[in-house]
Amino acid sequence: MGSIEFSGVGKVFGQAGGGTKALEDINLTIGEKEFVAIVGPSGCGKTTCLRMVAGFELPSSGVVSVSGRPVTSPGPDRAVVFQQFALFPWKTVRENIDLGLRNKNLPKGERDKLIHGALQLMNLESHADAFPHQLSGGMQQRVAIARAYVLDPDVLLMDEPFGALDAQTRVVMQEELVRLARVNPRTVLFITHAVEEAVYLADRVAIMTRRPGRIKEILDVRSVRLRENWDRFQNIEDVMDLESFVSIRTHIWKSLREEKGPQGI
Ligand SMILES: Nc1ncnc2c1ncn2[C@@H]1O[C@H](COP(=O)(O)OP(=O)(O)O)[C@@H](O)[C@H]1O
Ligand SMILES: [Mg+2]
């Protein structure tokens, strides 16, 4: 459960002929419990890819499947974490996490148990009754991740989830996500601008071309961890110094640079 497949996927926004061709012939298979990051220039269609897996957008051509079934609408097997945390400001942390569960028709006792587990998982227990505005950006994003995890989805879709955080908080959250991915592995499609983040977090990194976005290259970056005995390198700064990390990062940067326009944007 939880595999994702893009098969010959194209997307055109607006009228045929005069529309915007966002994606062209995307082919990508993400295995069960695999963590794949997509990097690519701004506007190349990364978010559109994610939205199609979520069921918010339909492809114009080709098929997007999850667990072997074509996606036609959103569903409880997929949870999304956005860059803007998308919390309800008038609800507490606990109530925000509870929101998704409400559709599941579980007895209150059962829901409370799940919420408690999610609060624990994200180190939020002491903030359960706080409102979002009382929390830092990092804490708010923890709530959004807890809200996604509590649904027990097969697939976790993350669209630049740490893009709005300051550098230090971002590192903490990256390390946290590595920990989560180990204790509670899911199929993850993770979109980011940050090359280091992609290499640090993912099993494979897909590089996209500029618009219309195609998959240019898919790199297996697991070797960064296996080769160097990952357990000795819990912290991102240790990993970032590894020769294997540096060479993959440089390769991705070069590949992305080729996709920039003449003005370098
Ligand atoms: N709902 C929409 N209507 C029209 N154009 C859109 C829509 N969503 C995205 N686009 C266009 O599709 C292209 C890809 O967008 P997006 O997937 O957001 O790129 P990225 O996330 O890589 O920055 C962009 O040119 C964007 O303007
Ligand atoms: Mg985007």
- What is the DSSP-derived secondary structure letter of residue 213? B
181 in Cβ contact with 201 (< 8 Å): yes
What is the per-residue pLDDT for 16? 63
Asked if residue 3 has pLDDT above 90, the reply is: yes
Q: Give 148-204 pLDDT, tens digit per residue.
A: 999 999 999 999 999 988 888 888 888 888 888 888 899 999 999 899 999 989 999
Domains in the chain: boundaries = 79-152
Ligand 1 atom, smallest distance to 46 CA: 22
202 in Cβ contact with 37 (< 8 Å): yes
Q: Which ligand sits closest to the CA of 163?
A: 2
Asked if residue 107 has pLDDT above 60, the reply is: yes
174 in Cβ contact with 222 (< 8 Å): no
Distance in angstroms (rounded) separating the CA atoms of residues 84 and 160: 9
Q: Which ligand sits closest to the CA of 43?
A: 1
Calculate how far, in angstroms, residue 221's C-alpha sits from the geometric centre of ligand 1. 28
9: number of Cβ within 10 Å: 23
Distance in angstroms (rounded) separating the CA atoms of residues 4 and 53: 8
Name which of 10-14, 142-146, 231-235 the model is least confident about. Answer: 231-235
What is the per-residue pLDDT for 206? 98
Distance in angstroms (rounded) separating the CA atoms of residues 157 and 18: 30
Of all helices (H) and strands (E), which one includes residue 243? helix 243-257
Task: Tokens for 169, please give them.
Answer: 């908080």
Mutating to test ligand 1, I would choose from 12, 23, 47 the residue with most ligand atoms within 8 A of its C-beta, which is: 47
Euclidean distance between the first and the last CA atom of the chain, given in angstroms as a whole number: 39
Across 16-30, 60-74, 181-195, which has the greatest mean pLDDT?
A: 60-74
Distance in angstroms (rounded) separating the CA atoms of residues 98 and 115: 7
What is the per-residue pLDDT for 60? 96
Going by alpha carbons, the residue nearest to atom 25 of ligand 1 is 43
Which residues sit with their C-beta closer than 6 Å to ligand 1?
13-14, 20, 22, 40, 42-48, 211
Location of structure tokens 């036609």: 72
Q: Which ligand sits closest to the CA of 44?
A: 1
Name which of 62-71, 78-87, 155-164, 187-196 the model is least confident about. Answer: 78-87
Asked if residue 147 has pLDDT above 70, the reply is: yes
Contacts of 112 (CB under 8 A, 6+ apart): none
Closest listed residue to residue 132, CA positions, set 117, 116, 147 = 147
Q: For 62, how many CA atoms within 13 A lie in the half-sphere containing its CB?
A: 21
CA 179 to chain centre: 15
Q: Is 72 exposed, middle or buried (0-12, 13-18, 19+ CB in 10 A)?
A: exposed
